């Protein structure tokens, strides 16, 4: 396909007419496809249905420490669950708390604690009218929503192929009002980028001016590999300990996209000092989490190898979907000079960049054609993409045939938006 910018006016008219014809063909079909969020497909959820059939006799009553899992107690969670999460997250089991089902809830609670009571012995963030937080962009809209809810001014730092722009980060943390940053370090949302070992080391070595600087280290996709040649993520906790900075990081993970979304197990991991402050809060917040569910999960997934086998089954379902989207994007848009996209090795999203100033129009065209996407702009703080160009594609839930159609609609919309923009620029 020729670069659209090199087309003559007549060729551009022809390209626009062809895209319009394809778009109208889709429009006539009365399509309704939802690609708005990274929801597991029903086939993925089916993989864990044996969890619902576990009997009390199979589990036993007690965990490996001898505690009755049906009763109150052991706020840190079932020992075997803490050990499993620790091995997956790269933390010692004694630095892990196994919790309820939502890691996002744990992140919200941590920021709330920092706001109202502080962390690291420092004053609550609420007393700092200039409080700020680093947002790696494009990024996860729910992280940004939490920061906005608590009045944290978000400072955008661009993502690079190796992770956040560390030169920019290292400059920003000289400001004591900058209190932390959000990181999805493996298969980032939405770019699918895994931070390079060099980037992780620079993050671990940071010397922020704020003594209560905290990184939300969200390991949402730490085991979500799609291909055998998957990405490697360096262990930030071990590196941070080398520099004496382990207090800077609080890590989060869950089984929401391993077993059941909303009915799995979540965990957080942190330094001894951070955990003491977090546990002091949790003691007031909850007596204990659902240890029966934790025990049930560990009955099936005793080791990281068991989790890896489960994730291979997920990958077998997801891989054809990602491959379909990437194939159609390549067939329709490669070399056209009007879009760019990533080809992630794992995670749940594909990040598409269209012509500057065109994403909202593309989103409108898709919506009018029955294709629901993540709200355009959601991958930036306050829902405002300054370049109006990023679109998050979530291939997990629709079928392969639906994805073929959905990506076709998206490509037709991208072409129509590009033709309109080029004509406006030339006029």
Structural domain contains residue 20: yes
Q: What is the pLDDT of residue 405?
A: 98
Percent of the chain with pLDDT over 70: 100
Structural domain contains residue 241: yes
Same domain? 17 vs 83: no
Question: How far apart, in whole angstroms, are the C-alpha atoms of residue 108 and residue 150?
Answer: 10
Same domain? 141 vs 245: yes
Same domain? 315 vs 296: no
- Chain segment 355-386, per-residue pLDDT in tens: 999 999 999 999 999 999 999 999 999 999 99
- Residue that terminates a domain, selected from 279, 302, 325: 302
Instruction: Write out the two tokens for 234.
Output: 């360096």
Domain count, the chain: 2
Same domain? 298 vs 312: no
Predicted confidence (pLDDT) at residue 347 exceeds the cutoff of 90: yes
- Residue that terminates a domain, selected from 302, 318, 338: 302
Same domain? 248 vs 393: no
Structural domain contains residue 272: yes
Percent of the chain with pLDDT over 90: 96
Q: What is the mean pLDDT of residues 161-182?
A: 98
Structural domain contains residue 52: no
State pTM to two decimals: 0.96
Predicted confidence (pLDDT) at residue 58 exceeds the cutoff of 90: no
Same domain? 281 vs 392: no
- Which residue range forms the structural domain that includes residue 200? 63-302
- Chain segment 382-413, per-residue pLDDT in tens: 999 999 999 999 999 999 999 999 999 999 99
Q: What is the pLDDT of residue 94?
A: 97
Predicted confidence (pLDDT) at residue 1 exceeds the cutoff of 80: no
In the chain, the largest separation of any two C-alpha atoms, in whole Å, equals: 78
Predicted confidence (pLDDT) at residue 302 exceeds the cutoff of 90: yes
Residue 351: is the preceding peptide bond cis (ω within 30°)? no
CATH of the domain at 419: 3.90.1150.10
Q: What is the mean pLDDT of residues 287-305?
A: 95
Same domain? 205 vs 325: no
Same domain? 338 vs 422: yes
CATH of the domain at 242: 3.40.640.10
Contact 349, 392 (CB under 8 A): yes
Same domain? 361 vs 240: no
Instruction: Write out the two tokens for 100.
Output: 């309820």
Structural domain contains residue 53: no
Same domain? 141 vs 248: yes
> Across the chain, what does the average pLDDT equal?
96
Same domain? 144 vs 23: no
Structural domain contains residue 55: no
Q: What is the mean pLDDT of residues 132-160?
A: 98
Structural domain contains residue 54: no
- Residue that terminates a domain, selected from 302, 319, 352: 302
Q: What is the pLDDT of residue 129?
A: 96
| CA count, 13 A, side-chain hemisphere, 322 | 22
Structural domain contains residue 57: no
Predicted confidence (pLDDT) at residue 56 exceeds the cutoff of 90: no
* HEC assignment per residue over the chain: CCCHHHCCHHHHHHHHHHHHHHHHHHHCCCCCEEECCCCCCHHHHHCCHHHHHCCHHHHCCECCCCCECCCCCCCCCCHHHHHHHHHHHCCCHHHEEECCCCHHHHHHHHHHHHHHCCCCCCCCHHHCCCCEEEEEECCCHHHHHHHHHCCCEEEEEEEECCEECHHHHHHHCCCCCEEEEEECCCCCCCCCCCCCHHHHHHHHHCCCCCCCCEEEEECCCCCCECCCCCCCCCCHHHHHHHHCCHHHEEEEEECCCCCCCCCCCEEEEECHHHHHHHHHHHHHHCCCCCHHHHHHHHHHCCCHHHHHHHHHHHHHHHHHHHHHHHHHHHHHHCCCCCEEECCCCECCCEEEEECCCCHHHHHHHHHHCCEEECCCCCCCHHHCCCCCCEEEECCCCCCHHHHHHHHHHHHHHHHHHHHHHHHHHHC
Same domain? 264 vs 196: yes
| Between residues 2 and 86, the one the model is more confident about | 86
């Amino acid at each position: 396909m020729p670069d659209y910018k090199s087309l003559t006016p007549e060729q551009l008219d022809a390209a626009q007419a062809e895209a319009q014809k394809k778009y109208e063909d889709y429009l006539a079909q009365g399509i309704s496809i939802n690609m708005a969020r990274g929801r597991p497909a029903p086939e993925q959820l089916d993989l864990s249905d044996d969890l619902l059939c576990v009997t009390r006799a199979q589990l036993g009553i007690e965990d490996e420490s001898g505690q009755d899992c049906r009763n109150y107690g052991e706020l840190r969670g079932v020992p075997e669950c803490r050990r499993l999460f620790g091995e997956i997250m790269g933390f010692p089991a004694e630095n892990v708390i196994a919790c309820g089902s939502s890691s996002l809830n744990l992140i919200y609670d941590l920021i709330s604690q920092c706001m109202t009571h502080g962390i690291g012995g420092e004053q609550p963030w609420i007393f700092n009218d200039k409080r700020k937080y680093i947002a790696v962009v494009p990024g996860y809209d729910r992280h940004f929503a939490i920061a906005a809810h608590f009045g944290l001014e978000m400072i955008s730092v661009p993502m690079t192929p190796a992770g956040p722009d560390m030169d920019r980060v290292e400059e920003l943390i000289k400001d004591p009002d900058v209190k932390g940053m959000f990181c999805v370090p493996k298969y980032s949302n939405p770019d699918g980028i895994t931070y390079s070992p060099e980037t992780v080391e620079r993050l671990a070595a940071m010397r922020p001016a704020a003594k209560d600087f905290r990184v939300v280290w969200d390991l949402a996709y730490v085991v979500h590999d799609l291909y055998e040649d998957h990405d490697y993520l360096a262990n930030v906790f071990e590196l941070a300990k080398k520099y004496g900075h382990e207090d800077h990081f609080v890590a989060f993970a869950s089984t929401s996209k391993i077993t059941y979304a909303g009915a799995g197990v979540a965990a957080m991991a942190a330094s001894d000092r951070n955990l003491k402050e977090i546990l002091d809060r949790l003691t007031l917040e909850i007596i204990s989490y659902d240890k029966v569910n934790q025990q049930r999960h560990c009955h099936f997934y005793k080791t990281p190898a068991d989790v890896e086998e489960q994730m291979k089954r997920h990958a077998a379902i997801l891989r054809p979907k990602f491959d379909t989207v990437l194939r159609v994007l390549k067939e329709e848009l490669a070399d056209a000079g009007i879009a760019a996209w990533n080809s992630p090795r794992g995670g749940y999203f594909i990040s598409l960049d269209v012509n500057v100033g065109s994403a909202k129009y593309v989103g409108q065209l898709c919506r009018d054609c029955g294709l629901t996407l993540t709200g355009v702009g959601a991958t930036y703080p306050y829902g405002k993409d300054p370049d109006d160009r990023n679109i998050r594609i979530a291939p997990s839930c629709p079928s392969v045939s639906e994805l073929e159609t959905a990506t076709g609609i998206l490509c037709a919309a991208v072409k129509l938006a590009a033709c309109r923009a080029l004509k406006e620029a030339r006029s």
